[in-house]
Amino acid sequence: MSAIRGIVVLTGRRQARRPLVDVVAAAVAGGVRAVLLREKDLPRAERAALAADLRPILTEAGGTLIVAGPDPLDGDAVHLPAAGPYPPPRCGLVGRSCHDEAELLRLTSEDYATLSPVFPSRSKPGYGPPLRPDGLASLIRRSPVPVLALGGIETPHHVTACVGAGATGVAVLGALMRATDPAETAAKLRSAFQESVTPKPPESWHGRMNVSQPSAATEESP
């Protein structure tokens, strides 16, 4: 299973403007290729049925459905809380929530980690204090695995700042769950990510000379 990068959607059915399956389908249409199914308050049977509805949407697009918690709900990708279990279960893809250096240093065989909150979050008000991009960058330098930025990420500018700090992707909940048009919102965030990771062509030596050298016609005579 390929590493998780880009825009990852976290589900939150209570914040969604439409049925959750419809929101996820729209986000995938907008370019999202990874969805983290939360909804941990649901009974396992209902949660498994929801996973069964969401998984084909991701599979058809070549994406991945990740399940929060150690039970993959008949899949092969899980995202674990910082509290455990340790060691992580054997799955095709394993992520873990982290918030500080101590939690990062407990990682063993996980494939990625989330770091949060990066910005103040409307989904979890008062949760923090926020890392901000500088704090995110500092922790990413200490992380043994790739990091997804999480918390309060709502705009293309947020995405750009997180990628600039070293994140391999961003995890988004409220901005997509609450969106009037999840496909459009997902496309804008994905475009910001793609632009942030696309190498800029180096300025040519000839171009720099043209800018820096004054023309002979404008030079004053001695």
DSSP-assigned letters across all residues of 17-54: SS-HHHHHHHHHHTT--EEEE--TTS-HHHHHHHHHHH
Buried b vs exposed e over 122-145: b needs ≥16 C-beta within 10 Å? ebeeeebebbbbeebbebbeebeb
Question: Tokens 């062509």 identify what position?
Answer: 201
CA atoms within a 13 Å half-sphere pointing along the CA-CB vector of 158: 22
The predicted structure's pLDDT at residue 181: 98
- What angle in degrees, to the nearest 10, is found between the helix axes of 182-197 and 156-164? 30
Output DSSP code: residue 190. H
Question: Tokens 């509290």 identify what position?
Answer: 83
The predicted structure's pLDDT at residue 201: 78
Condensed to tens digits (0 to 9), the pLDDT of residues 116-152 reads 999 997 766 666 699 999 999 999 999 999 999 999 9
Condensed to tens digits (0 to 9), the pLDDT of residues 9-42 reads 999 999 999 999 999 999 999 999 999 999 999 9
Cα distances (Å, whole numbers) of residue 172 to 76, 102, 133: 21, 24, 16
Q: List CB contacts of 203: < 8 A, sequence separation 6 or more.
A: none
The predicted structure's pLDDT at residue 202: 75
pTM above 0.85, yes or no: yes
